Amino acid sequence: MDIMVDELQERIEAGEKVNMVDVREPYEHEEFNIGGQLIPLGSLPVRINELTQDKDAEIVMYCRSGGRSGMAKQFMEQAGYKNVRNLTGGMLEWQRRFSAK
């Protein structure tokens, strides 16, 4: 099940520790990020071992708009991770919703 930016933002503000992975490129991460671990989509297959070994743990994948993180979610599920969520709308939606505040 995917996650909406409102839900994720509420959980972060509440101080909840959320496993987040940013699958964008380093320059995108430098421009704006919400604190997720940077693992660009192209390097995910060789860096998957850097993620939690608990394959039942929730992991939120995000990118610019949700496309790359959707592919990352599929890859993670094929690797046996059972609770991977894609941030719907990605950083574009996050900035649209929260940057004006």
Residue 83 sits in a domain whose CATH number is 3.40.250.10
* Residue 64 domain boundaries: 5-98
d(CA 17, CA 46): 25
Q: Annotated catalytic, 63?
A: yes
Catalytic residue among 5, 51, 60, 63: 63
| Tally of residues, the chain | 101
Domains of the chain: total: 1
The pLDDT value recorded for residue 51 is 92
On whether the CB atoms of residues 62 and 44 are closer than 8 A, the answer is no
Residues of the chain with pLDDT under 50: none
Q: 62 φ, ψ to 5°?
A: -145, 155
Residues 73-100: tens digit of each pLDDT:
999 999 999 999 999 999 999 999 998 6
Q: What one-letter code names the amino acid at 101?
A: K
The pLDDT value recorded for residue 99 is 80
Task: Give the pTM.
Answer: 0.94
The pLDDT value recorded for residue 52 is 81
